Amino acid sequence: MVGQMVQIGACILIQGDMREVLPQLTERAALVLTDPPYPLVAGGNSTGEMRGLFARESYDNSGALFDLVPWAELAPVIWAAARDDADAIVMANDRNLAEAQGALEVAGWKFHRLLVWDKRTVTPNRWFMSGLEFGLYMWRGRARPINDKGAHPLVRCPQIDVTGHPTEKPVALFRRWIELTTAPGDLVLDPFLGSGSAAVAALRAGRRFIGVEKDPRWFEAAVARVAAEVAGGQMDFALGGAA
């Protein structure tokens, strides 16, 4: 069901299931930048029981148990909501990357490059630390060059907690990806908005934005966050480039 719609400045925020909302949008996006809920099974003890920091990750990355949209289902939905020459940056972790890329390619998206977010995690792990997440940088139609051909695909910035959302992403990371792949005034779409990090990033980059969030709690949080951003602005966080 499609719920509330709120417009704040250059942002339109819609509460509902992306599978129902996106087919109703009247403008197609230049960039789909999104961080879908995917299952995390990162760690556990010898009995397979999750504990400590990882307990939360026995759920999906939105913090909800099995509230997932399969990659094969979301890929054609974002394809249909994107412009003929659009890009998509779709986040995944190392366990979901192959399935995500495969589903996006079946839907028609072509693969440009793997973007890497180094979260600066320092928690030791017997099988390497799990400190990276990824952005599948995809394109369709006519490949548009990025705005700085010297840009490195690795970005280092800490995972921060401004909103309390269990999988909040840094605004600085999203802002960098938006600024590199779109022009001022372009429409950016995030169909899994969460706490609204992509909306704040788009505003700071001077782009228009549509965000969709199913959970009314996080929808309200995103609306409040975007309203505060438009009213006063907030500090951004510094990025560390690749070595």
**Where does this chain bind ligand SAM (CB under 6 A)?**
17-19, 35, 37, 61-62, 67, 69, 165, 167-169, 191-192, 194-195, 197, 212-215, 218
Task: Give, for 33, the enclosing helix (H) or strand (E).
Answer: strand 29-34
Q: In terms of CB distance, is 27 or 161 closer to ligand SAM?
A: 161
Nearest to 182 by CA among 92, 83, 36, 35: 83
Whole-number minimum distance, CB 27 to ligand SAM, in Å? 18
Nearest to 179 by CA among 156, 202, 155: 202
Q: In terms of CB distance, is 97 or 144 closer to ligand SAM?
A: 97
Q: In terms of CB distance, is 121 or 144 closer to ligand SAM?
A: 121
Q: In terms of CB distance, is 110 or 120 closer to ligand SAM?
A: 120
Beta strands 132-139; 110-118: pairing state: antiparallel
Is 132:94 a contact under the CB 8 Å cutoff? yes
φ/ψ (deg, to 5) at 101:
-65, -40
Q: In terms of CB distance, is 109 or 219 closer to ligand SAM?
A: 219
User: Closest CB to ligand SAM belongs to which residue?
Assistant: 194
Half-sphere exposure of 154 (CA within 13 A, CB side): 10
Whole-number minimum distance, CB 238 to ligand SAM, in Å? 18
Angle between helices 97-107 and 71-80 (to 10 degrees): 40
